[in-house]
Amino acid sequence: MRALISVSDKTGVVEFAKGLRALGWEVIATGGTMKLLADSGVEVINISDVTGFPEICDGRVKTLHPNVHGGLLARRDDPEHLKALKDNHIEFIDLVCVNLYPFRWTIETPGVKMEDAIENIDIGGPSMLRSAAKNWADVTVVCDPADYEVILNEIRAGGNTEKATRLKLSAKAYTHTAEYDAMIATYMRAQAGLNEKLFLEFDLVQSLRYGENPHQSARFYREEKEVPYSLAFAKQLNGKELSYNNIQDANAALCIVREFDKPFCVGLKHMNPCGAATGKDVVEAWTKAYEADKVSIFGGIVATNCTVTKEAAELMKPIFLEIIMAPKFDEGALEVLCTKKNLRLLEVSMDKGAVDPKQYVSVNGGLLVQDLDVATKAVTADMCVTKAKPAPEQMEDLNFGWHIVKHVKSNAIVAVKDGRTLGVGAGQMNRIGSAEIALKQAHAAGVTEGLVLASDGFFPFDDCVTLAAEYGVTAIVQPGGSVRDEDSVKMADEKGIAMVFTGERHFKH
């Protein structure tokens, strides 16, 4: 039995080769792999002794030879194949161990040049993997060091790998080459300015109990490169496994948290904030967010950009919550919260230095791709379009409301005061309907004056301004851009309301 080994990732390869030799296998190797094995005391055959041809073109050509691919592809049950090998003095190769040049690592290196990327495109490696994988009935193909021990154990037990294992390894090898080729294609297409194809690669995190409803099956996948504010890379410290709806809601909460640098906390239900607030610390931020809507937060999700302390945990514990997310929980907080066995506690990276730039949304038979809406204009005094001008404390609330309303389902209206949401109008078919919901909530909370209103889209009529005045709103932030902006400005001047136009829309469908 013969094995051909040629790896870039040399993790565990010496032990693997020694294991094969101890089982009586011959080991063939190439280049750097051969040197490593020989230096480690493994008896090894140079690939050039198999092909009868030296490595040429700086190693670009070394395994592309009939003595290699004939030995891999020949069917052991086909007399014509066997005769062809005998007539051409070709021996079987029963196992191929290959992993590929580090193309991903190369292109992610800062300042990499295209010629460096090109030199890290493997040709012989994928060819050997594909040949061995095609002939999986007779040939074992391995591309992952994690499989070395399983393979050795099966050979020790039965003289060769089991057929079912070879099939799984074949599928794994084709997946490996497919991902590799997709990565190269994506890079080369970017260099050529082509965008009519999109290749995506995601790995399974877990199969979910069900989807949005019990009759729907679902799975959770993540991309290979870790990104911040991502549930896919969060560390779960407590609680039962996440559901489909948990993941959707938690992602929406993390998108809101990303907006804020000062201590902030948000409660969320059905992908809309039900209470959000800033504070001097996590305790104040939580308290204000909870008091914004004590009813809706029941069974909700909480996210904060602060370390959860024992004091904050003791305030959160009495409330029925599905998930609490934070960059960290201190030991005291874990002692308090982990007594609730079903409460999911998740530590999430919140490093703003890196941002996933794309958002993918599936539609029937297609996929929408857009830049993630991570940039939010600061609201400034010079954006004011009315006679009344915002006071400094109103400017803070205008900015707070503007950063929150972009994460509420359109049509979206948010009423805020003192760095806290008091009313959230989400997903209505007309803007006045959303305004009515938000303002009635604010009044139900006992706040009847000094409110600030934020709208994710422009006002097509002056009705929202008229309503706002009736509910004690003193300042409004909205994008502007309606053909009837003048009507809204005129009404705001009539009611003594300060209004700013950001020139930036934040629809969320």
Query: For 422-450, what is each residue's pLDDT tens digit?
Result: 999 999 999 999 999 999 999 999 999 99
Instruction: Identify the pLDDT of residue 356.
Output: 61
Tens-digit pLDDT profile for residues 451-480: 999 999 999 999 999 999 999 999 999 999
Question: Which of 107-111, 174-178, 202-206 is the least confident region?
Answer: 107-111
Q: Please, are residues 301 and 323 in contact by the beta-carbon 8 Å criterion? A: yes
Instruction: Identify the pLDDT of residue 355.
Output: 65
* Higher per-residue confidence, 5 vs 124: 5
From residue 502, give the alpha-carbon distance in Å to each of 273, 306, 402, 457, 481: 22, 29, 9, 10, 10
Helix (H) and strand (E) counts in the chain: 18, 20
From residue 262, give the alpha-carbon distance in Å to each of 158, 251, 277, 330: 63, 20, 10, 19
CA–CA separation, 364 and 496 (whole Å): 48
**What is the chain's mean pLDDT, rounded?**
93
CA–CA separation, 324 and 321 (whole Å): 7
The pLDDT of residue 376 is above 70:
yes
* Higher per-residue confidence, 122 vs 133: 133
Residue 336, CA atoms < 13 Å, CB-side half-sphere: 18
| Cβ neighbours, 10 Å, residue 168 | 15
Name the one residue in this structure whose structure tokens are 């008229």.
466
Tell me the catalytic residues: 134, 270
Name the one residue in this structure whose structure tokens are 């084709």.
174
pLDDT average, residue stretch 408-421: 96
The pLDDT of residue 421 is above 90:
yes
The pLDDT of residue 381 is above 90:
yes
Q: Please, are residues 16 and 140 in contact by the beta-carbon 8 Å criterion? A: no
Residue type, 277: A
The pLDDT of residue 357 is above 80:
no
Confidence grade of residue 354 (pLDDT, cut at 50, 70, 90): low
| Cβ neighbours, 10 Å, residue 221 | 12
Q: What length is written for the chain?
A: 509
CA–CA separation, 229 and 117 (whole Å): 30
What are the structural domains, with CATH classification, of the chain?
Answer: 2-192 (3.40.50.1380), 234-347 (3.40.140.20), 381-501 (3.40.140.20)
CA–CA separation, 149 and 153 (whole Å): 6
Residue 9 CA from chain centroid, whole number: 25
pLDDT average, residue stretch 484-508: 96
Name the one residue in this structure whose structure tokens are 């009313």.
423
The pLDDT of residue 286 is above 90:
yes
User: If we measure between CA atoms, which residue out of 135, 137, 160, 138 comes closest to residue 150?
Assistant: 160
The pLDDT of residue 368 is above 90:
yes
pLDDT average, residue stretch 58-77: 83
CA–CA separation, 23 and 176 (whole Å): 28
DSSP bridge partners of 341: none
% of residues, the chain, pLDDT over 90 = 77
CA–CA separation, 64 and 322 (whole Å): 57
Residue type, 177: T
Dihedral sign from CA coordinates of 434, 435, 437, 442: positive
pLDDT average, residue stretch 19-33: 92
CA–CA separation, 283 and 279 (whole Å): 8
**Structure token pair of residue 205:** 């995190």
User: If we measure between CA atoms, which residue out of 196, 193, 251, 245 comes closest to residue 222?
Assistant: 251
DSSP code for 508: -
Residue 402 CA from chain centroid, whole number: 26
Helix (H, G, I), strand (E, B) or coil at 260: coil
Q: Please, are residues 277 and 420 in contact by the beta-carbon 8 Å criterion? A: yes
DSSP code for 309: P
Q: Please, are residues 504 and 483 in contact by the beta-carbon 8 Å criterion? A: no
Instruction: Identify the pLDDT of residue 59.
Output: 67
Instruction: Identify the pLDDT of residue 65.
Output: 87
CA–CA separation, 5 and 231 (whole Å): 38
The model carries a pTM of 0.84
**Structure token pair of residue 179:** 């991902």
